[in-house]
Structure 1
Amino acid sequence: MNPIRLSDLAFTLEAVIDDAFGQKPVWVIAETSDIKNYPDRGYCFLTLVERDTSGTSAGRETLAKLDACIWRRNYHTINDFENATGVAFARNIQLLLLVSVGFSPVYGLRLEILKIDPSYTLGNLERERQAVLDALVLNHPDLVWLEAGQYITANQLLPRPAVMQRIALIAAPGSDGWRDFRHELAQNPFGYDFVVDEYLTQVQGKGAEKAICDQLERIRTSNIAYDSVVIVRGGGSQLDFGSFDTYLMGQTVAGFSIPILAGIGHERNVSITDLLCHESVKTPTKAAAFLIEHNRQFEESCLLLRDRLVLVAREALQTAREQLDAETERLRFVMHNFFRDCHTDLTEKAVTIRHLDPSNVLRRGYALVLRNGHILTKSTGIQSGETLQIQMNDGSINVISKQSSVLSEH
């Protein structure tokens, strides 16, 4: 046996590794673990692992594990990654890393992370999300389907109430999202009243997916006629946002019987919940603003109808007034002609009556024969020797009748 000193072995390993990897950065795919980050000092220690992907998430075998670090000169790569992806640099993320391999006789083997490729992480997230969407379309075609490249859901097709006033709110108790939503509703400039029933629960982190779905089930079985369900979430990382990208959330939201409005506080990516809910906005504040604007549109349509009704009524009254004026003028004209004709007719009749007046007839040389004050129009019935009166224009005389019809003065 020819033992060697530990330092000789370490120096040999250092030389071998330096010869194989020195000044030759390599790209590796690994999952983060055991992160110890020191932002104030500008460096970070972590462990990179590879696990067997064939096992379950709870019991996957670790295939490899190496220590790694990010020194001050490359510490900006953490912020660059978070800004590009919206994903917090945290444990259990699979990353594509550019690393240099180094070996120290004192500190052992360690990888120095030089760069993190954000496109790999974004691609992974997108692939995982697309797999969930594909499974939903395949397994629940009555709830989710593709139409002209767009995902259509039963929840999206629900009729939207003309006024959204009775709201079921799912939010974390005391969170910024809860506070922003309630404040925006309460301070709306139109004075609208909203009835908000709170279904408070965690909305991010482990277990959030089931907690949210449980609250949705409570809302469904409450037998309360809600106009909308609003899900809001305040700040947080993209990893915290993961509960809204799951199969269970997608299925529950897509088939929910009340329109769901999502304002879950993200700016970059659109989650599965956003894609499948009735309406999606960026933030809790905008969710409240959406409800206010929706109700404002209804009020404006009512005001528009009121103004239109006033205008139509005014025009109808003006038309009726003009028609009444025309009919009044026509009636006045007809009545004028009628009275004129009546006056003419009466004048003619008056002339005729004047002509037929006995006094006027007597003036023309005619005479009236009277018996006992009654005018006789026939000779029949006159007895011989009967006294009659002859009325003429200038007076009357009495005569005695004879059978020969010759009258003699009395």
Structure 2
Amino acid sequence: MSKTTLSLYELNQQVKGALQDAFPGSVWVRAEIAELRENRNGHCYLDLVEKDEATDQVIARMRAMIWNYTYRMLKPFFETTTGQPFTQGIKVLIQGIVEFQEVYGLSFTIRDIDPAYTLGDIERRRLEVIRRLESEGVINMNKELPLPLVPQKIAIISSPTAAGYGDFVHQLENNSYGIKFYHKLFPAIVQGQQAPESITAAFDKIYEHIELFDVVVLIRGGGASLDLLCFDDYWLCYNITQFPLPVLTGIGHERDRSVADMVAHSNLKTPTAVAEFLITGAGEVLAAINSYALELKNLVRERLAKHRQKNDRLWIQLKPAARRVMSAQHNHLLRLAGKVPHVSQTVIREQHQHLDQYSKQMGLLPQTIIRQERRNLQEQVTKLRHSLTRIFTHQTEKINFIEKNNRLNDPVNILNKGFTLTYYNGKLTKDAAALTPEMEITTRFRDGSVNSTINKKQ
């Protein structure tokens, strides 16, 4: 019995004909751009995929292309409308023709794109990040940290070449109050796909020397709205919520507010606005201290003036009394001298002794009163100083208690108790049902992490 056979070319022709019959015109397709390449002729080649929403596994894949004359129009149209680059990692709604070539196989030639679909997906992912942080109860954790009274030791996360970084440092170092701020830069990439990982690494470096700083400032210069997409990354924002120091953001956009701005302790529009926030706060404290010092100075002056007036009154009252005593004693001596001439010399000597004693007592009395009042004044100053010391000590103990609670609630402490975290493709996995044999996973311990491959699942 003879077998019916086809050549490969004939088979591909039949497949091509079947596809042309099934898709005679263009179709709209939803997909994610997994890879994108532009060749020197201006053509754009793409690798389109669709992923399972539950497992994030690729369930479909197809090659696609955009001819240069179409790509020159589609790319600027998409980027102008969405405010973000036409690149890999985004979801798109595209119109094109399904084609099959005998040599190159199946492909999809793109002719049009709907930017509104991508905009909706970006906003959807942003809202998903916000809802996830809210459901985990961490979205306001950094906001609840107490801001130091005068934050002077500042850790800066920024690109060293960013104009915003230079403006921020210049503003701090040339403040009108003459306040000294200590700052250190932890360089990071602040835009693009590598930005979240780079910024998170900078936070980790700051954490290694956390006792040296009061706050963390995350800043960047101005730029397009698409540059803000990295600040909507879940893991970056989660890291900010968990950081034990207040985080201040100055990303440099007047209208847009990223998720990182939402979870930070304080968010300002620009780097210079962050600097002004720190300077103004320190200036208000300095003004309050000067005001307290002036009040204390005036209080001391008032007390001294009151005691001086009291001493003057006592001295004025003392002089007539002394004169009256001396006059009475003098008259008494005269009477004794007249009555008893033979003992006058003895009496006179005794009375002169009494007069000398009275004169000394009268001379010492004002000094004694002044010393007593001075001691009273010193006691009042000492009590005031002790009262201020107790207030500052109480506030310091309160701040230490809050910091201790924050450290006890740190997830790192949970890892130190022996618990671990399992990640697949960089995402935290909570259920064994999401894992299958041959998958490569990462297990995080308190002192590091290990990579492993699943051999068996129970």
Aligned to 2:140: 152
Which of 131, 155, 161 is the equivalent residue of 1:134?
131
Report the Cα offset of residue 88 of structure 1. Answer: 5.5
Alignment of 1:52 onto 2:50: yes
Aligned to 1:182: 169
TM-score by length of 2: 0.53
Check the 8 A contact 2:78/2:86 in 1, yes or no. Answer: no
Check the 8 A contact 1:169/1:196 in 2, yes or no. Answer: yes
Aligned partners of 1:131 and 1:60: how far apart in 2? 22
Which of 238, 257, 270 is the equivalent residue of 2:257?
270
Which of 309, 315, 327 is the equivalent residue of 1:343?
327
CA deviation string 1:13-32 (max 9, x = no partner): 9xx97xxx9xxxx9997778
Report the Cα offset of residue 254 of structure 1. Answer: 1.0
Aligned to 1:61: 60
Aligned to 1:237: 224
For residue 280 of structure 1, give the secondary structure of its aligned residue in structure 2. Answer: strand
Aligned to 2:427: none
Alignment of 1:161 onto 2:165: no
**Root-mean-square deviation (CA), in Å?**
4.5
Q: What does 1:3-402 align with in structure 2 at a 5 Å threshold? A: 52-54=50-52, 59=58, 61-62=60-61, 79=80, 82=83, 87=84, 93-94=90-91, 117=116, 124-139=121-136, 141=137, 144=138, 151-153=139-141, 155-222=142-209, 224-328=211-315, 332-333=316-317, 335-337=319-321, 339-340=323-324, 343-344=327-328, 347=331, 350-351=334-335, 354=338
Aligned partners of 2:313 and 2:92: how far apart in 1? 88
CA change 1:249–1:92 in 2 (3 A) is: closer
How high is the sequence identity, in percent, across the aligned residues? 28
CA change 1:326–1:338 in 2 (3 A) is: closer
CA deviation string 1:143-200 (max 9, x = no partner): x2xxxxxx521x2233322332222221123222322222323333333333322211
Aligned partners of 1:284 and 1:127: how far apart in 2? 28
CA deviation string 1:252-308 (max 9, x = no partner): 111112222211222223222212222211122222222222322222222222222
For residue 152 of structure 1, give the secondary structure of its aligned residue in structure 2. Answer: coil
CA deviation string 1:78-122 (max 9, x = no partner): 65654xxxx45666555789x9x99xxxxx997567x855xx766
Aligned partners of 1:313 and 1:291: how far apart in 2? 33
TM-score by length of 1: 0.58
Report the Cα offset of residue 126 of structure 1. Answer: 4.0
CA change 1:314–1:287 in 2 (3 A) is: same
CA change 1:301–1:204 in 2 (3 A) is: same
Aligned partners of 2:260 and 2:245: how far apart in 1? 14
Check the 8 A contact 1:232/1:283 in 2, yes or no. Answer: yes
Larger CA Rg, structure 1 vs 2: 1
User: Which letter does structure 2 place at the counterpart of 1:336?
Assistant: P
User: Which letter does structure 2 place at the counterpart of 1:152?
Assistant: N
CA change 1:269–1:122 in 2 (3 A) is: farther
User: Which letter does structure 2 place at the counterpart of 1:340?
Assistant: R
Check the 8 A contact 2:248/2:267 in 1, yes or no. Answer: yes
Aligned partners of 2:238 and 2:112: how far apart in 1? 42
Aligned partners of 1:191 and 1:199: how far apart in 2? 25
Check the 8 A contact 1:170/1:198 in 2, yes or no. Answer: yes
Aligned partners of 2:60 and 2:93: how far apart in 1? 20
Aligned partners of 1:211 and 1:250: how far apart in 2? 13
CA change 1:49–1:215 in 2 (3 A) is: closer
User: Which letter does structure 2 place at the counterpart of 1:173?
Assistant: P
